[in-house]
Amino acid sequence: MKITEQDKTFMREAIKLASDSVRRGGGPFGAVIVKDGEIIAGSSNSVTIDNDPTAHAEVNTIRKACKLLKTFDLSGCVIYTSCEPCPMCLGAIYWAKLDRIYYGNNRQDAADIEFADNFIYEELDRPMSKRTVPIIPMLRDEALESFRLWSEKEDKTEY
Protein backbone atom coordinates (compact mmCIF):
# COMPACT_ATOMS: atom_id res chain seq x y z
CA MET A 1 0.00 0.00 0.00
CA LYS A 2 1.39 3.39 -0.99
CA ILE A 3 2.09 5.86 1.83
CA THR A 4 0.99 9.40 0.95
CA GLU A 5 2.11 12.79 2.24
CA GLN A 6 -1.24 12.99 4.05
CA ASP A 7 -0.48 9.66 5.77
CA LYS A 8 2.85 11.12 6.91
CA THR A 9 1.06 14.20 8.28
CA PHE A 10 -1.31 12.02 10.32
CA MET A 11 1.56 9.86 11.61
CA ARG A 12 3.49 12.97 12.62
CA GLU A 13 0.49 14.04 14.71
CA ALA A 14 0.48 10.64 16.47
CA ILE A 15 4.22 11.00 17.09
CA LYS A 16 3.71 14.52 18.44
CA LEU A 17 1.07 13.21 20.86
CA ALA A 18 3.55 10.55 22.02
CA SER A 19 6.27 13.12 22.70
CA ASP A 20 3.82 15.48 24.43
CA SER A 21 2.72 12.56 26.60
CA VAL A 22 6.26 11.96 27.82
CA ARG A 23 6.58 15.65 28.72
CA ARG A 24 3.35 15.40 30.79
CA GLY A 25 4.41 12.23 32.61
CA GLY A 26 2.68 9.68 30.39
CA GLY A 27 4.03 6.89 28.25
CA PRO A 28 5.71 7.48 24.86
CA PHE A 29 2.76 6.47 22.70
CA GLY A 30 0.25 8.48 20.66
CA ALA A 31 -2.49 7.73 18.14
CA VAL A 32 -4.97 9.47 15.88
CA ILE A 33 -8.04 8.15 14.09
CA VAL A 34 -8.89 9.58 10.70
CA LYS A 35 -12.21 9.52 8.85
CA ASP A 36 -12.67 10.99 5.38
CA GLY A 37 -9.25 12.62 5.46
CA GLU A 38 -9.80 14.40 8.81
CA ILE A 39 -8.46 13.60 12.27
CA ILE A 40 -11.52 12.93 14.40
CA ALA A 41 -9.75 11.79 17.57
CA GLY A 42 -6.29 11.70 19.04
CA SER A 43 -4.85 10.69 22.35
CA SER A 44 -1.78 9.39 24.08
CA ASN A 45 -0.89 6.80 26.65
CA SER A 46 -2.16 7.72 30.12
CA VAL A 47 -1.56 4.48 32.03
CA THR A 48 0.43 6.09 34.85
CA ILE A 49 -1.53 9.36 34.81
CA ASP A 50 -4.93 7.63 35.10
CA ASN A 51 -3.74 4.55 37.02
CA ASP A 52 -5.40 2.49 34.28
CA PRO A 53 -3.43 -0.32 32.61
CA THR A 54 -5.83 -0.21 29.63
CA ALA A 55 -5.25 3.50 28.95
CA HIS A 56 -3.00 2.92 25.97
CA ALA A 57 -2.97 5.53 23.20
CA GLU A 58 -4.93 3.36 20.77
CA VAL A 59 -7.62 2.45 23.31
CA ASN A 60 -7.97 6.06 24.49
CA THR A 61 -8.27 7.23 20.87
CA ILE A 62 -10.83 4.54 19.98
CA ARG A 63 -12.92 5.58 22.99
CA LYS A 64 -12.82 9.24 21.92
CA ALA A 65 -13.69 8.44 18.30
CA CYS A 66 -16.61 6.19 19.29
CA LYS A 67 -17.98 8.81 21.66
CA LEU A 68 -17.70 11.55 19.03
CA LEU A 69 -19.28 9.45 16.28
CA LYS A 70 -21.81 7.86 18.67
CA THR A 71 -21.00 4.36 17.45
CA PHE A 72 -18.98 1.30 18.41
CA ASP A 73 -18.22 0.55 14.74
CA LEU A 74 -15.36 2.60 13.30
CA SER A 75 -15.54 1.09 9.82
CA GLY A 76 -14.39 3.72 7.35
CA CYS A 77 -11.75 4.99 9.79
CA VAL A 78 -7.99 4.51 9.88
CA ILE A 79 -5.66 4.59 12.90
CA TYR A 80 -2.16 6.03 12.92
CA THR A 81 -0.20 5.01 15.99
CA SER A 82 3.31 5.95 16.99
CA CYS A 83 4.14 2.32 17.79
CA GLU A 84 3.06 -1.11 16.59
CA PRO A 85 -0.03 -1.96 18.66
CA CYS A 86 0.32 -4.35 21.59
CA PRO A 87 -1.96 -7.41 21.68
CA MET A 88 -4.61 -5.57 23.74
CA CYS A 89 -4.67 -2.60 21.39
CA LEU A 90 -4.63 -4.81 18.33
CA GLY A 91 -7.68 -6.61 19.72
CA ALA A 92 -9.42 -3.28 20.37
CA ILE A 93 -8.63 -2.13 16.83
CA TYR A 94 -10.18 -5.28 15.38
CA TRP A 95 -13.24 -4.98 17.65
CA ALA A 96 -13.65 -1.35 16.55
CA LYS A 97 -13.47 -2.50 12.89
CA LEU A 98 -10.92 0.10 11.84
CA ASP A 99 -10.00 -0.26 8.17
CA ARG A 100 -6.21 0.09 8.42
CA ILE A 101 -3.36 0.48 10.90
CA TYR A 102 -0.30 2.61 10.24
CA TYR A 103 2.46 2.51 12.86
CA GLY A 104 5.82 4.18 13.51
CA ASN A 105 8.03 2.31 15.97
CA ASN A 106 7.88 -1.47 15.95
CA ARG A 107 7.59 -3.86 18.89
CA GLN A 108 11.37 -4.38 19.05
CA ASP A 109 11.87 -0.61 19.34
CA ALA A 110 9.44 -0.67 22.28
CA ALA A 111 11.23 -3.63 23.85
CA ASP A 112 14.51 -1.74 23.55
CA ILE A 113 13.14 0.89 25.96
CA GLU A 114 11.61 -1.78 28.23
CA PHE A 115 8.06 -1.84 26.85
CA ALA A 116 8.00 -5.53 25.92
CA ASP A 117 4.85 -7.26 24.69
CA ASN A 118 6.48 -10.56 23.76
CA PHE A 119 5.50 -12.17 27.06
CA ILE A 120 1.83 -11.73 26.10
CA TYR A 121 2.34 -13.25 22.65
CA GLU A 122 4.17 -16.15 24.33
CA GLU A 123 1.36 -16.60 26.88
CA LEU A 124 -1.25 -16.76 24.10
CA ASP A 125 0.69 -19.57 22.43
CA ARG A 126 0.70 -21.67 25.63
CA PRO A 127 -2.12 -24.03 26.58
CA MET A 128 -4.28 -22.50 29.33
CA SER A 129 -2.94 -25.00 31.85
CA LYS A 130 0.62 -23.74 31.28
CA ARG A 131 -0.01 -19.97 31.46
CA THR A 132 1.54 -17.75 34.14
CA VAL A 133 -1.84 -16.49 35.38
CA PRO A 134 -4.12 -19.44 36.15
CA ILE A 135 -7.29 -19.56 34.04
CA ILE A 136 -9.92 -21.65 35.80
CA PRO A 137 -13.27 -22.51 34.19
CA MET A 138 -16.30 -22.75 36.49
CA LEU A 139 -20.13 -22.58 36.55
CA ARG A 140 -20.41 -22.91 32.78
CA ASP A 141 -23.97 -24.24 32.90
CA GLU A 142 -25.06 -21.19 34.89
CA ALA A 143 -23.07 -18.81 32.70
CA LEU A 144 -24.73 -20.20 29.56
CA GLU A 145 -28.02 -18.63 30.71
CA SER A 146 -26.98 -15.16 29.56
CA PHE A 147 -25.92 -16.61 26.19
CA ARG A 148 -29.32 -18.30 25.87
CA LEU A 149 -31.04 -15.00 26.64
CA TRP A 150 -28.91 -13.22 24.04
CA SER A 151 -29.57 -15.81 21.33
CA GLU A 152 -33.34 -15.58 21.95
CA LYS A 153 -33.44 -11.77 22.08
CA GLU A 154 -35.09 -10.47 18.92
CA ASP A 155 -34.22 -6.77 19.29
CA LYS A 156 -30.48 -7.12 20.02
CA THR A 157 -27.84 -4.93 18.46
CA GLU A 158 -25.27 -7.19 16.83
CA TYR A 159 -21.61 -6.24 17.11
> What 3-state DSSP class applies to 25?
coil
Alpha-carbon distance 44 to 19, whole Å? 9
Whether residue 84 contacts residue 73, with contact meaning beta carbons closer than 8 Å, is answered with no
Is 58 noted as a catalytic residue in this protein? yes
Contacting residues for 133 by C-beta, under 8 A, at least 6 apart: 123
Q: Which position among 5, 13, 58, 145 bears the catalytic label?
A: 58
Which are the catalytic amino acids? 58
